[in-house]
Amino acid sequence: MAKINSTIPEFKAQAFHNGEFVTVSSEDVKGKWAVFCFYPADFTFVCPTELGDLADHYEELQSAGVEVYSVSTDTHFVHKAWHDASETINKIKFPMIGDPTGAITRGFDVMIEEEGLALRGTFVVNPEGQIKVAEVHDLGIGRSAKDLVRKVKAAQYVAANDGQVCPAKWEPGEETLTPSLDLVGKI
């Protein structure tokens, strides 16, 4: 799997975004926070529930300075067809990247080679292009956008507050920890 603190792979691909086909590259990602959400395929079952959930939280992620990129091994043409055919997918405002060669999917190490599909991989990437959160699910296990938003905000907090860490279930505004000798054995 793609490693924490490793730099995202270089890529250039076509995406369906806001009714148009656009080119998205790894260079476009740098300079801001990003989420990459890999999923197996368009016109499937768990995928639209996840992407719809992510679409429902997109505005909150955008207000936190985060761009979202969904990625499957389908083409950008299939993404448009799915967007046009499904009320759930029609809610999506973030770029839907087509990765028919699997280069991006392999670069994040979530390709199921024998099927040519991606695992359910979620990656939070900092403005320097480094992976700060990596989560991979088997195909039958859907993800929660609400928890993803929490993890993004924790990653942003840790990046902005040197020496502090966020405990389990941390939410913005709650207490954080400053690791020190005084805390050893007291938590």
Helix, strand, or coil (residue 167): coil
Token pair, residue 80, equals 């448009």
> Alpha-carbon distance 32 to 22, whole Å?
19
Helix, strand, or coil (residue 120): strand
46-63 vs 145-160: helix crossing angle, rounded to 10: 30
Catalytic: 166?
Answer: no
Whether 90 and 19 have beta carbons less than 8 Å apart is answered as no
> Alpha-carbon distance 33 to 98, whole Å?
20
Whether 25 and 103 have beta carbons less than 8 Å apart is answered as no
Element (H, E) at 21: strand 20-25
Give the type of residue at 187: I
187 residues of the chain, pLDDT tens digit each = 569 999 999 999 999 999 999 999 999 999 999 999 999 999 999 999 999 999 999 999 999 999 999 999 999 999 999 999 999 999 999 999 999 999 999 999 999 999 999 999 999 999 999 999 999 999 999 999 999 999 999 999 999 999 999 999 999 999 998 888 777 776 7
Selecting among 8, 34, 37, 47, the annotated active-site residue is 47
Kindly report the number of other CB atoms within 10 A of residue 145's CB atom: 22
